Chain A
């Protein structure tokens, strides 16, 4: 299941919902992404002067997340999965993204979570605008994210 939303979410409730009514699941792995305090070390900029605004491409975002999730299910024996990605203005410490995967054994759940995050970073149309001290700046894509996504394409 995928959800793109402005609202916050609760990891415990989401994982409980993922496995509700089932006793065949042996492992649930999850990844929670957070807004980091972006002020340079030693800077006087307080966390309250910072924010991050996530823009996305409504329609394509949902399509890409559903594609990525389907790819994970083709590749690993997953029993359930969830991707939640927020958009809008977020503050340091806020939750941005949740990925959770359920499988009979842990390895598939761990690997599928990593795969989903690596692919999401480079294929889901989200963009981060960082505000520090009132200045907005679009975050540059990182080559390391491309490399992380590429390691899953050997097959």
Chain B
């Protein structure tokens, strides 16, 4: 089980702020592929990886980062704070 969190327009695009996923995916990239297939909203919102940032357990990662059961994965747009 992976807990996936969404923020900003990724959250509003998918219509969820988080969901728990049963997955065999071992990398963030493979997990994203599975997420895109969950619904048309997922597919559309997560289509362009260049517009997304990824974190595993609250640290920034790339698509090839490993994931394991119990991890917290977050998907969000580039940050606009400050």
Per the CB 8 Å criterion, the residue count for chain B at the interface is: 17
**Complex CA distance for A145 and B77, rounded to whole angstroms:** 14
Query: How near does chain A come to B73, taking the closest CB pair, in angstroms?
Result: 12
1/0 contact string of A23-42 vs chain B (CB within 8 Å): 00000000001000000000
1/0 contact string of A103-124 vs chain B (CB within 8 Å): 0000000000000010011111
Given that A59-B58, A60-B58, A60-B74 are known contacts, is A124 also in contact with B79, CB under 8 Å in the complex? yes
Query: Interface segment, A5-13, A14-22, A72-80, A136-144?
Result: A136-144
**Complex CA distance for A57 and B80, rounded to whole angstroms:** 12
Query: How near does chain A come to B52, taking the closest CB pair, in angstroms?
Result: 11
Q: For residues 1 through 16 of chain B, which have their beta carbon under 8 Å from a beta carbon of chain A?
A: 5, 7-9, 12
Query: How near does chain A come to B28, taking the closest CB pair, in angstroms?
Result: 15
Residues of A within 8 A of B74 (CB): 57, 60, 125
Given that A57-B74, A60-B58 are known contacts, is A128 also in contact with B5, CB under 8 Å in the complex? no
Query: How near does chain A come to B48, taking the closest CB pair, in angstroms?
Result: 13
Given that A127-B7, A127-B8, A138-B9 are known contacts, is A60 also in contact with B55, CB under 8 Å in the complex? yes
Query: Does B82 have its Cβ within 8 Å of any Cβ on chain A?
Result: yes
A127 touches B77 (CB 8 A): yes
**Complex CA distance for A121 and B8, rounded to whole angstroms:** 15
Query: How near does chain A come to B17, taking the closest CB pair, in angstroms?
Result: 10
A120 touches B9 (CB 8 A): no
Interface centre among B59, B77, B78, B79 (most CB of A within 10 A): B79
Query: How near does chain A come to B13, taking the closest CB pair, in angstroms?
Result: 10
In addition to A117-B82, A141-B79, 10 A-B residue pairs with Cβ atoms within 8 Å of each other are A55-B8, A57-B58, A97-B81, A121-B81, A126-B79, A126-B82, A127-B80, A129-B8, A140-B80, A141-B77
- Interface residues, chain B, CB within 8 Å of chain A? 5, 7-9, 12, 55, 58-60, 74, 76-82
- Interface residues, chain A, CB within 8 Å of chain B? 33, 54-57, 59-60, 63, 85, 96-97, 117, 120-129, 138-141, 145
Top 7 nearest A-B pairs by Cβ distance?
A126-B81, A141-B78, A127-B8, A60-B58, A121-B82, A138-B9, A139-B80
